[in-house]
Amino acid sequence: MKMRIYLILMCVTFPLFGSVTNLELKKALTMLEEKNLEIKIAQFDEQMKLLEAKLPLATRLGKIDATLSAVRSNDAGNVFGFKVQSREATFGDFGAQEFNILDPNVFSVAPQNLNYPEARNHYSTKFTYSLPLFTGGKITHYSRIAHDMYEMSKIDKEKVVAQKVFETKKTFYDITLVENYIKNLSKITNNISRLERIVKEMVKEGYAIQTDLLEVQAHKAEADSLLIQAKLNRELAYQYLSFLLNEEVESIKNIDEMAPLNMPSKEEIENDSFDIQKALLGLQITDNAVWVQKASFLPIIGGFAEYGSADNMIFNDFDDKDFYTVGVQATWNIFNGFSDKINLEKAKLEHLKTMAQVELAKSGTELKAKQLQTEALSAFEMVRSDEKRLAYASKVYENYLAKYKEGMISVGDVLIKQSKELEVLLKLLTTKNTYNAKVFELDSLTKKGE
C-alpha cells in the first residue's frame, strides 16, 4: 500500500521537477520578463523610486504629532505652572491666607504654599499640526526631481529588460548556430572516418603505408576534439539560458542562424535611446535643482496649531481643561557667508554640464548605432563569402579524395584540404556569431529593440 502511494506521489510531482523542452523564442521572452531575477530587482528599484516620488507631497500636507507626557515635581515653578496649565491656580497658591493686611510688612512675607508646595503629578496631552505654507518653491521642485528620478528608474528597468532580451535572443541564435556547426562538423568527422577506412584498405593492398594511417587517425582525433568542444559549448549555452529564465531548459526550437538587421533612423535613436532619455531627464533634474537653490533666497513660512489638555490625573476633565494655540512663523535667512550664492552657481554649472552631456549622448549614441550597423553589414558580407568558401573547400576535398584513391596524390594532400574545410567552417561559425552579436547590440540601444 505504501509503495502504491509512493508511486502515485512520484507521478504527480514529477512534472514539477521536469525541464522545458522544445522552447520557442517568443515563449522564452515571456518567461524572461516573468522570472528573470535581475529584471525583478530592477522592478523593485522602480517601485522604491515611485514611493520616494510621493514623499514631497507628504511634506506638503504637513504633519500631526501626538504627545503624552507624565511628570511629577515639587519644584515651586513647575508646580505653579502645572496648576495654571490645569486651570486650578488659586490665590491660596500665592499664600493669601498667610497675609496680614494690618502688618505693614505684608509684601515682604515669603508665602509658604508658593515657595514650598507639595509635589504634584502632571499629565499633558497635546496634538500638534504643522504645515509649510511657503517654502520658496522647494517642495514643488523637489517633487519634480523625485518624479524624474522615478522616470529614470523606469528607463533603467527597461534597459535591464532590453539587455536580458538581447542575451536571451543571442543565446537562442548561439544554440542554433552551434547545433548546425555540430551537424556540419559531424559530416566532416564522418568523411575522415571514411578516409580512414579507405587508407586501411590501401595499407592492406600495399598502396599506402602505416604512417599514412596514423596521420589520418591523428587528424580524426583533432576533429573529434573540436566536436566535443562544440557539444560542451552547446551545454554551456543551455545552462546560461536556464540562468536567464530561472528555469531548466533542456532543448529549444531552432530558429534561423542569422537575426534580421534593423536600421533605426536618427529620429528613432533620439526618441527611443535609453542613454539619451536618461540624459534628458538629468537635464530636467538639474534645472529643478537650480530652482531649489534659488528658493534659499526667499522666506519660509509655516503655520501650526496645537490642541491639548493637562491635569494631575490622566485624561481627567479633558474638555474643561483643554487649551489651543495657533500661529504662523516666517524665517528669512539674510546672510550665511555667501554659501547660498555659491550653491546656486554650482547648480547652474551642473545644469550647463548636463546640457553638454545630452548633446554628447545624442552624438555618441548615433555614432555607436552607425558603427554597429557598419560592423553588422561587414560581418554579413563575410558570412556570404565564408559560405562560398566552405562550399568550395568541400568540393576540393572530395576531388582530392578521389585523386588519392587513384594514387595520384598523397594522403597528406587530402588532409591539408580537410583541414582547410575545418578552418573555414569554424570561421563561418565565428562570423555568424559576430553578426548576431552586433545586430542584438544595435537593437538594445533603443526601446524598440526590446
Q: What is the mean pLDDT of the chain?
A: 87
130 within some domain: no
> Given this model, what pLDDT does residue 264 score?
86
121 within some domain: no
Q: Which residues are CB-contacts of 193 (< 8 A; sequence separation ≥ 6)?
A: 220
On whether the CB atoms of residues 412 and 215 are closer than 8 A, the answer is yes
Per residue in 325-349, is it b (16+ CB within 10 Å) or e — as a string? eeeeeeeeeeeeeeebeeebeebbe
259 within some domain: yes
CATH number of the domain residue 277 falls in = 1.20.1600.10
pLDDT digits (tens, 9 = 90+) for 267-313: 888 888 999 999 999 999 999 999 999 998 999 999 999 999 998 88
310 within some domain: no
Place of cell 536580458: 164
112 within some domain: no
Give this prediction's pTM: 0.79
Q: Can you read off the three cell numbers belonging to residue 287?
A: 534645472
Mean pLDDT of 386-405: 90
Residue 277 domain boundaries: 17-59+137-299+339-449
Mean pLDDT of 400-413: 86
Number of domains in the chain: 1
Instruction: State the pLDDT confidence band at 230, using cuts at 50, 70 and 90.
Output: very high
Q: φ and ψ at 326, to 5 degrees?
A: -130, 150
Q: Which residues are CB-contacts of 12 (< 8 A; sequence separation ≥ 6)?
A: none
125 within some domain: no
Across-strand partners of 303? 131, 328
Largest Cα span, the chain: 156
Q: Which of 269, 227, 224 is nearest to 368 (CA)?
A: 269
> Given this model, what pLDDT does residue 100 score?
61
Place of cell 519644584: 75
Mean pLDDT of 259-264: 88
Report which listed range, 25-29, 103-107, 311-315, 318-322, is most confident.
25-29
343 within some domain: yes
24 within some domain: yes
pLDDT at 9 over 60: no
- The CA distance from 76 to 84, in Å, is 12
pLDDT at 4 over 50: no
- DSSP assignment, residue 408? S
Residue, of 310 and 19, whose pLDDT is higher: 310
- The CA distance from 426 to 188, in Å, is 12
Pure H helices in 92-137: 112-115
> Given this model, what pLDDT does residue 19 score?
79
pLDDT digits (tens, 9 = 90+) for 170-211: 999 999 999 999 998 999 899 889 988 988 888 888 877 889
pLDDT at 379 over 90: yes
- The CA distance from 53 to 41, in Å, is 19
